[in-house]
Structure 1
Amino acid sequence: MKYKLGDFVRFVDERREGYVTRIFDETMIGVTGDDDFEIPVLASKVTTVHGHQSAGQAGSGKSGSVVIPAAEFVSKGIWLGVVSDAKAASVVHFHLVNDTSYQLLATLKTEKQQFKGEYIGIIAPKSSAVIYSAQLADIQLWPKFNLQVLYYTAQDMAPEAPLIFSEKFKAKDFSGAKKNVPVINQQGWLMRIDEPEIVLDAQKLKESFFKPAAEKQQVVDKPTSEVDLHIEKLRDDYQFIGSAEIQRIQLDHFKKALDAAIVHQLPEITFIHGAGNGILRHELHKQLGKHPKVQTFLDARKEKFGYGATKVLLK
């Protein structure tokens, strides 16, 4: 297969172009155009648009042999940054980010009934390389990653042990908020694969066991006056979550925000739950109706939210 996810291609027999967003097999691919509609097409019926480079293919550093003072030599900082393609948002690229002062020799083999070589290359210090691309919606079909890394420097440094990373990714691995990926400076999901050794301070650990209960209490943040319970506002991975789990997450967020409002003695708080099928609204009203700290509740600003928000007056 000469095409990769994120490649920009043009149809041979018709005036249409777009990005490769799916690879079915060696002969068939899926191409998504400006209308966001994916079209299955034979790989032989499209051609690469020369001079065009997708976000996932762009290089980000050159190899070099600059001598770094020992005090400034960085030995830790290898990440996997999973970044959406700038043009084909349904496609994500796995960037192996080298934020160290070493050159890295990296290999990636995927495992799914059989092993497949995906990437081999040298990644210069403070640079990155795209080692794999995939459809985010097909995460349950992704193979297991087997990544191996060797460290190299010509300088007088003790050799690092080879790094071996083996992982079968799940939807929960992408449930957190996106962060800035080092070196490439793009937003994405970030995973550290050379975790630094944890050094325990025995004295501090001992002191923590004997802290008074008052010191151990967690600080409750003051909530905003309007709390949006739409799942896309609460989780980045909402497209992978079932309806029952979505409702559980929304109700947990509702309870925490209501408790925080009571702790901070707010006179009122508004929950934006949407109209939808009314299930979440009904559940909120049921819990509010029996809460001892709730004075009353009513539909909030119908001209703005319709029946999609509830204002809660607290005692």
Structure 2
Amino acid sequence: MNIGDKVRLLHSQEEGIITKISDKGRIEIEIEDGFHIPAMKNEVVVISKAEKEHFGNKKPAEVKTSSPTPSQPHKSQEGIFLSYVPINDRDLSVHLINNKNQDFVFSASEVHGENSRTLSAGRLDAKTSKKLDEKIIGQFEKWPYLLLQFIPVNHKLEKTIPPFEKKIKLKASSFFKSKSKAPITGKDGYLIPVEEQSKELNVQELNKELGQEKENPSPSQQFKRPDKEIDLHIEKLRDDYKSLSNSEMLRVQMENFERNLNYAIASGMDEITFIHGIGNGVLKKEIHKYLSQLENIKYFQDTQKSRFGYGATLIRIN
């Protein structure tokens, strides 16, 4: 049993990726949507091992899959990618791949709080790759944020593409599922697209929307600090909830979530907890999808099981 193994909890149907292993037989598993849950080694089973014991060495004929194998190229060939290529069973080689027809000036840095370390910088021509670093798989959870910045290079008079950047914090649940053959290099590894841009909360724009912009206001003057725990159960938000459709309920809950999160960020709070319940998981998934696009968030995870079960999310704010 190693970091990166996909496992299934014996006492439930949840599956996830091992991200930490302690000397006392405890492990940490990242399940869907980025949740981290603790477990003992004897409480989980490695899925691939269990399937091998059940089916034997041959895959049953009736089991078919359309998912790509590691030798297949990534479906979205056009773009910019990070490729993590295994050197051995311990180390990965990190490559930046430009599979576009555009040249770029780039910078790749590790971010450690307010400090950073530049791994590589320079020109990245179209249809080329550049090695950035090497990483130890066993230290996955300790890998820092990676900041990638790009300035397009125009060799002739053509449409201007604005510079862009991407701040990346990899999640085990998605990283270890991203095996694919990389474009340009043709090497099997973990392939991460990096061109999608992250959203960042613009406090000044939020001030304008709320009609509260003042000359040099302090964060505490701009917003009312929300409670540290916000209950998003619909009956807590609307008296007429029984007359609302499911989509209307979700809209009300997400509006309340976004408003209180924005206030928490703008007023300088370090953390805030949203109680969303378990239910069918739709609200939780929408919340986590929203959080995963924000640069203002350090991380988010389940709160203590003894308090809210897995029906609440604790958010740490940068």
| TM-score grouping bracket, smaller chain normalisation | 0.3 to 0.5
* Structure possessing the higher relative contact order (Cα contacts under 8 Å, 6 or more residues apart): 2
TM-score, L = length of structure 1: 0.36
Of structures 1 and 2, the larger Rg is shown by 1
